[in-house]
């Protein structure tokens, strides 16, 4: 794995954990999320960065598979260019339903490249 790609993967892993902590701050409650603009913006920004990291992974090392890469990159483009039309329910749904799958895939990419390191991270 190229060092730059590893950085993108580790950045994504870190941001996923950060988003999970933001979701915890809201007690997994959409209405609490919706009423906290700082949390909303933080999650949106993290998703935007993840989207850019996935885009760079696909450009740099396209054989690495991330199942929803096109959707992740598409979300990044929406967040960056159509910020005024972002639906809070969509972002919340992604954080609740889609992020766990991406977390598993990122963990698997690390495990495939560095079996002992990824296993110790759990």
The beta strands (E) that lie in the chain are given as none
User: Nearest Cα to 108, choosing from 66, 78, 80?
Assistant: 66
Please tell me the predicted confidence (pLDDT) of residue 38: 96
Reported as a single tens digit per residue, the pLDDT across 95-120 is: 999 999 999 999 999 998 877 654 55
Please tell me the predicted confidence (pLDDT) of residue 120: 52
Within its chain, how far is the Cα of 17 from the centroid? Answer: 9
Q: For the chain, which residues make up each domain, given as ranges?
A: 3-114
Q: Are 50 and 15 in contact (CB under 8 A)?
A: yes
Reported as a single tens digit per residue, the pLDDT across 30-88 is: 999 999 999 999 999 999 999 999 999 999 998 998 999 999 999 999 999 998 889 99
**Which letter does DSSP use for residue 122 in this model?**
-
């Amino acid at each position: 794995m190229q060092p730059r790609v590893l950085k993108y993967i580790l950045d994504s892993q870190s941001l996923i954990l950060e988003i999970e902590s933001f979701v915890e701050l809201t007690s997994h409650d959409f209405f609490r999320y919706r009423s906290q603009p700082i949390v909303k913006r933080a999650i949106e920004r993290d998703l935007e960065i993840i989207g850019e990291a996935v885009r760079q992974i696909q450009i740099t090392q396209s054989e690495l598979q991330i199942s929803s890469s096109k959707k992740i990159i598409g979300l990044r483009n929406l967040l960056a260019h159509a910020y005024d039309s972002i639906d809070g329910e969509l972002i919340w749904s992604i954080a609740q339903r889609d992020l766990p799958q991406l977390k598993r895939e990122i963990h698997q990419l690390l495990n495939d490249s560095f079996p002992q390191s990824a296993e110790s991270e759990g």
